[in-house]
A and B are shown apart, each in its own frame.
Chain A
């Protein structure tokens, strides 16, 4: 989910990709600790859905 938001929002621009990651972290998602293998945490998943929506991306 995190990667989808970053990829779709940045459209390949590395500066924007880096800034989006930082913006997500400052919104309260500690993205470093999650990998595709991480167990589902529904609080975080819902928060990411909201963040995606704010950015205009549906995840």
Chain B
């Protein structure tokens, strides 16, 4: 057994760590990834887990709700533990103050050096993969992913923290909790990995809209094709400008890159523009999308990629998608898809793969 997945509910973080230690007795945990309901944050889950597994590398995130195998829960902790049969080596680093401009060249260089440098990674590219967890309050993911993608070729998959009722959002590593930070891990896997993303959205209109005025940092969109973006969006949908907020959820925007859709969702209209949950740089071309069927699209994406028995699967699933499935009573059908593998996941405040994405599920499969 190279990967174990467990879901735990406890009275506090100490109880969680004790239960995890018992469940993983006899299993030599090299790397431990956890998604903990923010309910546990005040009892310091990372410190308790670090004490329970002193020889393991550990990283995690707070969560609104958690997935484990075929289960969906809240107020729980989902844990994936990997031993040396799955992961040969790991390197974890924390980058703080991500709301300020961060340069990641040195971080990437240090992390790559841990494994022997760029050439070793290039020559064994199918073994190395990254995980990135953002504290979502910083709202800096798109800039960070751009810098990270410039600094390293390693594919990073991940998501942004979310929170339960107490609204506490954190990421965890090195025995500590962090706000306004990102946790990066590079894994040298034993048998390799696959990455997929599924966004249950497709192109509604083939008309491409050029972003001619936007504020990337503040995630504000002003103009398409030199005209107010709301007017053009309404024109594409064939509705009046006053009606467009009714379409924000069902018809998000997408950048289509190399056949893949990178979804950008709307937040709200504000004077002169529309705020988004992910900034779009000027010069981009976008399509208006329509939301499809989460369960069937996810099934298709998983079945197309996972044609073998994976050791473990990590699902960074957008919180909006979780809400939509709860509203439509699709959660059991969705979870049944993931119950086919040892898997964990959580409802994310944003997803990461090559860039920052919305209303998507990004998935890391460890072979």
- Which residues of A are in contact with B by a Cβ distance under 8 Å? 9, 11, 13, 15-16, 18-19, 21-23, 25-30, 32-33, 43-44, 47, 54-55
Q: Are A16 and B284 in contact (CB-based, < 8 A)?
A: no
Those 9 A-B pairs whose CB atoms lie nearest each other, nearest first? A28-B281, A28-B283, A25-B257, A30-B285, A22-B257, A26-B355, A23-B149, A54-B150, A28-B284
Could you say which of A15, A28, A54 has the most chain B C-beta atoms within 10 Å of its C-beta? A28
Are the C-beta atoms of A30 and B262 separated by less than 8 Å? Answer: no
Which of under 10, 10 to 19, 20 to 34, or 35 or more describes the interface residues of B? 20 to 34
> Is there an interface contact between A28 and B150, defined as CB atoms closer than 8 Å?
no
Asked if B183 is at the interface (CB within 8 A of a chain A CB), the reply is: no
Let me know if A30 and B284 touch, CB within 8 A. yes
Hey, what's the 0/1 contact readout for B326-361 against A, CB within 8 Å counting as 1? 000000000000000000000000000011000000
> Which residues of the partner chain A approach B281 to less than 8 Å between Cβ atoms?
26-28
Contact with B146, one of A11, A26, A29 (Cβ below 8 angstroms) = A26
> In the complex, what residues of B have CB within 8 A of residue A27's CB?
146, 281
Contacts A11-B122, A22-B258, A25-B255: A47 and B150 contacting too (C-beta < 8 A)?
A: no
CB distance from B339 to the nearest CB of A (A): 29
Structural contact, A28 and B211, CB atoms closer than 8 A: yes
| Chain A residue with the shortest CB-CB distance to B286 | A30
Shortest Cβ distance from A47 into chain B, in angstroms? 7
A28 to B216, CA, bound (A): 10
Task: Give chain B residues whose Cβ lies under 8 Å from the Cβ of A13.
Answer: 122, 125, 153
Q: Is the pair A28, B125 in contact by a Cβ cutoff of 8 Å?
A: no
B153 with A29: CB separation less than 8 A: no
B203-215 vs A, Cβ < 8 Å mask (1 yes, 0 no): 0000010110000
CA distance A47 to B283 in the complex (A): 10
Tell me whether A29 and B258 are in contact in the complex, defined as CB-CB below 8 angstroms, given that A19-B354, A23-B150, A23-B354 are known contacts.
no
Complex formed: what's the CA distance from A22 to B285 in Å? 13
Q: Shortest Cβ distance from B261 into chain A, in angstroms?
A: 11
* A7 nearest CB across to chain B (Å): 14
CA distance A25 to B149 in the complex (A): 12
* Bound-state Cα–Cα, A26 to B145, Å: 10
Interchain CB contact under 8 A, A18 and B283: no
List 28 contacting pairs A-B, 8 Å CB cutoff, sorted by A: A9-B153, A11-B122, A13-B125, A16-B153, A19-B149, A19-B153, A19-B354, A21-B258, A22-B258, A22-B262, A23-B149, A23-B150, A23-B354, A25-B255, A25-B257, A26-B146, A26-B284, A28-B211, A28-B280, A28-B282, A28-B283, A28-B284, A30-B210, A30-B283, A30-B284, A30-B285, A32-B285, A44-B283
